[in-house]
Amino acid sequence: MGIRVINSMDFGEFVDILGNIIEKCPLIAAAIWSQRPFKDLADLEKHVFDFIEALPQSGKEGILRCHPDLAGRELQQGTLTPESQREQRGAGLSSLGLEERRRLSQLNGAYKTRFGFPFVIAARLSDKATILRELERRLDNQPAQELSTALDEVRKICHLRLEDILQSLEDPAKL
């Protein structure tokens, strides 16, 4: 069982494997390592989510700011983390037309100006049309509501990344 393997990992392995379950925030994996053993994926996830929930607003916003823009410069330059790259490509963001890319870039800019952090959505549960629609819709949210919505998306991304890790540990051929 994948969770047994995770529970047996030393600190270095744990952070290597789980360091990006929250994008570019290995500190979170580092912080929950000492809370092993975890019963299952849901239990591990709860420790991650409790850690995030306990952060002050600046910490929560910091997590959002660690996320790359959708179809932004890092996607064009190939410098996304492997997880992000897969997610963004899966949502069709690596093959946008010029007009779609311009529209997304314009909305991303307006969103950042309004809320002070990048628009975050679980790309694997979406597609380019839904992403554009959601970006437009969420621009009308109040800041407190939007912070909470964006963190829900971070939790969805984390859940999917953790599922992948557990699956690959159970079936190393998928690594």
Applying CB under 6 A, does 20 fall inside the site for ligand 2AL?
no
Output the CA angle 55-56-61, nearest 5 degrees: 90
Name which of residues 133 to 172 contact ligand 2AL (CB under 6 A): 157
Of 60, 67, 128, 138, which one interacts with ligand 2AL (CB under 6 A)? 67
Q: Is 67 a catalytic residue?
A: yes
The encoded tokens of residue 75 equal: 């996607």
Catalytic residue among 51, 63, 67, 69: 67
Binder of ligand 2AL out of 25, 121, 166, 169 (CB under 6 A): 121
Binding to ligand 2AL in span 99-118, by CB under 6 A: 118
If the CB atoms of residues 33 and 119 are measured against ligand 2AL, the closer one turns out to be 119
Using the minimum distance from each CB to ligand 2AL, give the nearer residue, 3 or 23.
23
Answer yes or no whether residue 123 interacts with ligand 2AL by CB under 6 A. Answer: yes
CA distance 100 to 75: 15
Judged by CB under 6 A, the stretch of 11-19, 38-46, 48-56, 67-75 that binds ligand 2AL is: 67-75
Site residues (vs ligand 2AL, CB under 6 A): 67-70, 84, 87-88, 118-124, 157
Indicate which residues carry an active-site annotation. Answer: 67
